Amino acid sequence: MAQSEAHHLQEIYQRLTTDSQRLTQQLAELTATARAMKQQLNGEGHLDLGTFSDQLETFASIEAGNRQIDALNARHDTAVTRLTHAQLLLPQAYFAKLQLDFGDGDAEALYLGKVGYTDENTNDLIYDWRAPVADAYYANRTGATSYQANGRTIPVTVTQRQQFIIDHDQLQQVIDTNAAIGDPLLLDVLASNRSGGLQEITATIQQEQNAIIRESRQPIVLVDGVAGSGKTSVLLQRVAYQLYRHRDSWTPEDILILTPNVAFSRYIRGVLPALGEAEPLSTTYLHLVQSWGRRFGVTIPTTDGNHLAELAKIIQDPLVQTPAGLAPAAYAQSNDRTALLSRMQRAWRWLQAVDRVPEDINQWLDWPAFAQELGLAELTPYDQLYLLLRFTNFQQTTTAALFVDEAQDYAADTWLFLTALYHNADLTIVGDHRQRLTGQAITIADYFDPAQTAVRHLTTSYRATGEITRFFAQFAGDWRTTIQAVQTAGTAPQVLENADLKDVLADLPVTTGQSIGVLTPSPQRATELAAQLPAAQLLTGEGTRTVRPGINIMPLTVAKGLEFDFTVVTDWTAGFYTDDPLGDNRRYVAASRGTKGLILIK
């Protein structure tokens, strides 16, 4: 069996190699042809409009040239895509094989890869992991099952599932996965070093993760998952899946990812290109709000001190007097018993109809006076932007899907703002309610329509060894008895008193290519320690650096979502980690960053 699989790999690898060379040559020839055609069209591009016959001939010639250019562009785009896929598959042509019986008693072999690939007759050589039929693989069982395709349920029997460890044209291992999806491969992947950016998890997606990635019944997906359960990886795989599912209408420009800081954005960069997709836009929430503020002429230095939660309630009540700065005729388009929001939206429509919309929308209302009318001391620029979005009933159409990571750290104003701005977009929101480091807890689901929301939970922790997982679970509150560890026991975490950080770091059993995360309670403490360790790099929330091999020093707020081979937590018994009610949350986050070793310094 292994010999036949090795032979099959050689055939596929040879085809990918040959196709890469041929497509590279084809693109060079298409470029040369396009250049020559452009020169020819420029030479013949004079307009002869003397007679009606001359005009027809001239326009026909232009149209023929345009058709030639369109044909060349189509051939070029097809070749580029195919070459990109071939080169992406060369290091690992596929990672799994399915034997499927569609009811005729003749099992068919399907190979799954990061992207799909066909021969010259469009026969599938490799199936994209996002294809509907691949769901039968991630269902995590052999025997009778089914998958959804084109609105139909396709019954099928899985007679065999295998995973492969492949290095270019070398088949290194064949793993039968009849009991569970690639447990040996999963453990091997989990044991790898944590340096550089986040890695894609296509080959080791688990059943509960797959259900979230492929969720398509509801436009809003809320994921609450324990530390190390792969929430960020699932989010990014879902981005890739959504781009595949909507490939006829969506592009990466239609996707927006909200991340907690710039360092985290850097950390996840590269995952989607590894899956054959271009990098979508990612930004922090503050930068997002500031960019929308600029569109409305509002400068927003901060989102602190806002009144969005109060405003969301106030605008649902009537306001008898005409808002300061608004033309009385506009407000008179509705009666005094109508909610302020509805009256203002109607007033805006009337101003548009009579062409009386202010040139500077931010000057539409007298904000200080309007604040007094609403019973507030002031309306911050952030408040003003929120009200402008609601009062104008602004419809944003540039983002088809919004993905939010580390959602537990966002306050009520975030969800009020996002639901107002992105109410036409699909939403995927992931977080861990026990990883909230500051502020008051809220229930995110309360801000969305239950009929349009799918709520999912991830309770298996894959990141760390069993010893580390059991250690951080004690600080996980209601997750404590829920968290399940996958990895073996490993080395027990150490709690040291009055230890010297330099000595601790020197004694770590670190090998080349491994990463160490030194976590501190504050940015000031991180800066102080970085000055004492010249070989270390300092990670900040707004910096562009991300995890690298060696020593990485950062405050806990920056470490969220990141992972390291070894983690050293300083000031373990300081008030930051012991105060009520967030101390345990912080300990839970800090202790769950390491994968192989954990040391806590009192």
Q: Taking CA 599 as the corner, what is the angle to CA 596 and CA 601, rounded to the nearest 5 degrees? A: 165
> Per the annotation, does 543 bind a ligand?
no
Bin 464: left if φ > 0, else alpha if -120 < ψ < 50, else beta: beta
How far apart (Å, rounded) are the C-alpha atoms in residues 263 and 284? 10
Q: How far is CA 580 from the centre of its chain?
A: 32
At 597, phi and psi to the nearest 5? -150, 150
Is there a binding annotation on residue 232? yes
Nearest CA to 225 among 214, 244, 211? 211
Report angle CA 286, 287, 292 to the nearest 5 degrees: 100
**Contact of 547 with 562, CB cutoff 8 Å:** yes
| CA distance readout (Å), 479 to 197, 207, 222, 227 | 27, 20, 17, 10
Helix or strand run (H / E) with residue 34: helix 2-43
Nearest to 235 by CA among 28, 19, 404: 404
Alpha carbon 438 to chain centroid distance?
23
8 A C-beta contact, residue 382 and residue 308? yes
The helix (run of H) or strand (run of E) holding residue 518 is strand 515-520
User: Is 227 annotated as contributing to ligand binding?
Assistant: yes
Helix H or strand E segment including 568: strand 564-569
Q: Can you tell me the distance from the alpha carbon of 370 to that of 377, in angstroms, rounded to the nearest whole number?
A: 10
Q: What are the angstrom distances between the C-alpha of 53 and each of 50, 60, 135, 186, 448?
A: 8, 11, 60, 71, 64
Is 230 marked as binding a ligand?
Answer: yes
DSSP letters, 325-377, are TS-HHHHTTS-TTSBHHHHHHHHHHHHHHTT---SSGGGSS-HHHHHHHTT-S
Q: CA torsion sign, 139 to 142 to 148 to 153?
A: negative
Give the torsion through C-alpha atoms of 363, 365, 366, 370, to 10 deg: -150
Cis? peptide before 581, omega within 30° of 0: yes
400: tokens are 């088809």
The token duo for 446 is 């309360």
Q: Which of 116, 112, 115 is nearest to 94 (CA)?
A: 112
226 is in an annotated binding site: yes
The amino acid present at 203, given as its one-letter code, is A
Instruction: Name the residue among 512, 55, 427 with its Cα closest to residue 255.
Output: 427
Query: Do the annotations mark residue 231 as ligand-binding?
Result: yes
For the annotated binding site, the residues are 225-232
For the annotated binding site for ATP, the residues are 225-232
